[in-house]
């Protein structure tokens, strides 16, 4: 089973505008290759031979939290595993986390740049405590972001390490192999810990040499396959990840076995 642990999609009526706005923030080579709908994601999965995808939604304002949860529940099925989101400015973050857990979802996605917080800010502690208590997976955007200035370090690996140390029982996923374009820092902070990382925006962005030390230091049992679809092509990313992990045992772990264990599916 191949599971893409990092995809995005939007409600059909919102997808065209969302893709237009997000494409405008990045260079042409980083623009979406799908239309942003679940239907197009499923067609991409079929072409690539991917059985399941995790859709990571991001609430950029507190008022979006409920609607994201409702939409997530509407698209969840045997192939689509949605992660909802909580905004740090919600009046009662613990209550919002409980709603997500009670609804049966597996995890929550947070994006420090788009949600305007630093990972290790103490005001996030109640949110993290609630996630840990609920047994949910917490997926962070990690490292720099292509749409933000390079000095923006709100999602830096060292900040994620602080949260991991403060909440060692919480299952954390740091996207983009632990920190996009901050892989030297990943190698000396997150690599070798129990934090999960995934492969999106690495091998298909020419970062093979940059992430080599991370791959040497981090357990293959803590690496997941991810593409960041629709911003990257699932099939092409899958081919590159297979090349990066030629050992079949390691490859099977990265492409699906680790995700099955983490998700409990």
Phi first, then psi: what are they for 22, rounded to 5°? Answer: -70, -35
Within its chain, how far is the Cα of 176 from the centroid?
Answer: 8
3 neighbors 53 (Cβ within 8 angstroms): yes
What is the spatial distance between Cα 102 and Cα 238, in angstroms, rounded to a whole number? 33
What is the spatial distance between Cα 137 and Cα 262, in angstroms, rounded to a whole number? 8
136 neighbors 107 (Cβ within 8 angstroms): yes
**Global pTM?**
0.95
What is the spatial distance between Cα 47 and Cα 141, in angstroms, rounded to a whole number? 27
Write 12-17 long-range contacts (CB < 8 A, 24+): 12/37, 12/38, 12/39
What is the sign, positive or negative, of the torsion defined by CA atoms of 208, 227, 34, 86? negative
> Which residue numbers in the chain have pLDDT < 70?
206
What is the spatial distance between Cα 140 and Cα 262, in angstroms, rounded to a whole number? 15
Tell the CATH topology of 3-263. Answer: TIM Barrel (3.20.20)
Kindly list the distances between the CA atom of residue 45 and the CA atoms of 4, 49, 69, 159, in Å, as whole numbers in the listed order.
Answer: 9, 6, 23, 33
Phi first, then psi: what are they for 106, rounded to 5°? Answer: -90, -25
Kindly list the distances between the CA atom of residue 245 and the CA atoms of 4, 241, 252, in Å, as whole numbers in the listed order.
Answer: 16, 6, 9
Quote the pLDDT of residue 31. Answer: 86
Strand order from edge to edge, sheet including 107-110: 107-110, 137-140, 171-174, 196-198, 223-224
77: exposed, middle or buried (C-beta count within 10 Å: 0-12, 13-18, 19+)?
exposed
- CB neighbour list of residue 212: distance below 8 Å, 6 or more residues apart: none
DSSP 133-149: HHT-EEEE--B--TTS-
Quote the pLDDT of residue 206. Answer: 65
Quote the pLDDT of residue 197. Answer: 98
Residue whose pair of structure tokens reads 């994201």 in the numeric block: 68
């Amino acid at each position: 089973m191949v599971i893409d642990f990092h995809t995005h999609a939007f409600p059909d009526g919102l997808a065209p505008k969302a893709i237009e706005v997000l494409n405008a923030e990045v260079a042409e080579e980083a623009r979406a290759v799908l239309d942003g709908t679940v239907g197009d994601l499923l067609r991409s999965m079929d072409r690539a031979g991917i059985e399941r995808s995790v859709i990571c939604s991001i609430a950029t304002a507190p008022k979006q939290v409920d609607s994201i949860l409702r939409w997530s529940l509407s698209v969840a099925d045997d192939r689509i595993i949605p992660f909802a989101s909580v905004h740090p400015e919600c009046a009662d973050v613990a209550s919002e986390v409980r709603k997500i857990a009670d609804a049966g979802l597996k995890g929550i996605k947070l994006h420090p740049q788009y949600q305007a917080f630093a990972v290790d800010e103490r005001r996030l502690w109640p949110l993290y405590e609630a996630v840990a208590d609920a047994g949910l997976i917490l997926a962070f955007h990690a490292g720099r972001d292509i749409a933000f200035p390079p000095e923006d370090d709100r999602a830096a690996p060292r900040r994620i390490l602080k949260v991991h140390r403060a909440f060692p029982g919480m299952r954390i996923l740091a996207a983009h192999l632990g920190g996009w374009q901050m892989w030297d820092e990943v190698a000396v902070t997150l690599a070798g810990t129990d934090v999960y990382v995934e492969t999106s925006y690495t091998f298909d962005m020419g970062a093979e040499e940059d992430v080599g030390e991370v791959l040497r230091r981090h357990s293959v049992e803590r690496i997941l396959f991810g593409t960041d679809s629709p911003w990257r092509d699932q099939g092409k990313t899958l081919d590159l990840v297979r090349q990066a992990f030629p050992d079949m045992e390691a490859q099977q772990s990265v492409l699906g076995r680790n995700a099955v264990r983490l998700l409990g599916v």
